[in-house]
Amino acid sequence: MTDEPVASCFSVSGVASAYEEIYLPRIFIPWARVLLERAALRPGEAVLDIATGPGTVARFAAEQVGRRGRVLGADFSEAMIAIARAKPQFAGAAAIDYVVSPAAPLTADDGAFDVVTCQQGLQFFPDRPAAVREMHRALKPGGRVAAAVWREIGFQPYFAAMDSALRESLPDHQAEPYGLPFRWPKASDLAAAFTGQGFTDVSLAEVRRPLTFEGGMRQAFAAVAASPVATTVAGLDAAARARLWSAAQRRLAPLVIDGQVRTHMVSNIVTARKSG
Ligand SMILES: C[S@@+](CC[C@H](N)C(=O)[O-])C[C@H]1O[C@@H](n2cnc3c(N)ncnc32)[C@H](O)[C@@H]1O
């Protein structure tokens, strides 16, 4: 196979569309449903979704709490919030407000929310204790939090394969950011992050669910355009990209079944409560 069929995926402007078209339906949307099952939202509740990105969890939360509820989505990326705002809301859903805000300090009122959600955001926050403290501050007494953080990259066969392909094809400093989403330490540290900020009823679950790239290796490879190394890969010359494609084909081969890349992902999900 030549490099050409996948070359067009790697443009800087392709990052948002790769996230939207490849990551969202296969990863973030199904995982949002898992997170919201744990949050057990009730009609009329007020929900704050931190690191909302394109509003993945916020939009389903709005559907679940219905018109009497309310949702605020916060993210420090103006580009992400613009994408979230442009999305239509589901029929019968609560209104969603979006705010450009870091996780800490967070632009949200004290004691205003029944539930805080955060899907795959905590691992990126520079001051995690401060971010968890902000979640606590924004919750009403008795309010709940549900947050998901991927397990280490060794538990994510597709990402581990691509990480190996990147490491063998690129200098370390260029390949290194790919694994960023998978660098939260241990599950016990995740639980401790919440107990340490005054939460009670802290409970941890390790959840595994399938990940399929039905478009096979090309689609799995194209997904790199939505990863933390998207810009680096976009800037590679044709020879370097061909080397990466060849390494990816070799590393992904064990995951290919009937022309599809079929694997799974594993996330820790923590739920906790603010004392009433
Ligand atoms: C992997 S995405 C997850 C987005 C969303 N929760 C979803 O499920 O689609 C991580 C998000 O965290 C946001 N983020 C990273 N660091 C942040 C910070 N310090 N404060 C607020 N948001 C942050 C990014 O802009 C990005 O939208």
Strands (E), 51-112: 70-75, 95-100
Q: Residue 7: pLDDT above 60?
A: no
Q: Distance of CA 175 to CAs 15, 171, 179, 239, 244, Å? A: 17, 6, 8, 17, 11
How confident is residue 1, by pLDDT bands cut at 50, 70 and 90?
A: very low
Atom of ligand 1 nearest to the CA of 54: 9
Q: Half-sphere exposure (CA, 13 Å, Cβ side) for 238?
A: 5
53 lines ligand 1 (CB under 6 A): yes
Q: How confident is the model at residue 19 (pLDDT cuts 50, 70, 90)?
A: confident
Q: How far, in Å, CA of 84 to CA of 50, rounded?
A: 13
The contacts found for 185-192 with CB under 8 angstroms, 24 or more apart, are 187/151, 187/268, 190/122, 190/147, 190/149, 190/268, 190/270, 191/270
The pLDDT tens digits of the residues spanning 236-260 come to 999 999 999 999 999 999 999 999 9
- What is the band of 4 on the pLDDT scale with cuts at 50, 70, 90? very low
Summarize the confidence of residues 179-193 as an average pLDDT: 89
Distance 111 CA to ligand 1 centre (A): 22
56 lines ligand 1 (CB under 6 A): yes
Confidence of residue 6 (pLDDT cuts 50, 70, 90): very low
| Sequence-distant (≥ 6) Cβ neighbours of residue 67 within 8 angstroms | 92, 93, 94
Instruction: Give me the percent of the chain exceeding a pLDDT of 90.
Output: 89
Q: What percent of the chain has pLDDT over 70?
A: 95
Q: For residues 207 and 94, what is the distance between their CA atoms, to the nearest angstrom?
A: 28
The DSSP call for residue 259 is T
Q: Which of 16-20, 120-124, 226-230 is predicted least confidently?
A: 16-20
pLDDT on residue 8:
43
* Assessment of whether the complete model's pTM goes beyond 0.85: yes
pLDDT tens digits, residue range 70-95? Answer: 999 999 999 999 999 999 999 999 99
92-127 per-position pLDDT tens digit: 999 999 999 999 999 999 999 999 999 999 999 999
Say if residue 105 is preceded by a cis peptide, omega within 30 of 0. Answer: yes
What atom in ligand 1 is closest to the CA of residue 101?
A: 21
Q: What is the reported pLDDT for 44?
A: 98
Ligand 1 mean position to 46 CA, how many Å?
A: 20
**pLDDT at 178 (0 to 100):** 97
| pLDDT averaged over every residue in the chain | 93
- What pLDDT sits at residue 188? 86
**Mean per-residue pLDDT for 189-214?**
96
Q: Which residue puts its alpha carbon closest to atom 25 of ligand 1?
A: 77
Assess whether pLDDT exceeds 60 at residue 3.
no
Q: Does any ligand 1 atom lie closer than 6 A to the CB of residue 28?
A: yes
> Are 76 and 102 spatial neighbours (Cβ–Cβ below 8 Å)?
yes
Cα-to-centroid distance, 246 and ligand 1 (Å) = 31
d(CA 78, CA 99): 9
Residue 211 in this model has a pLDDT that exceeds 50: yes
Q: Which residue has the higher pLDDT, 45 or 19?
A: 45
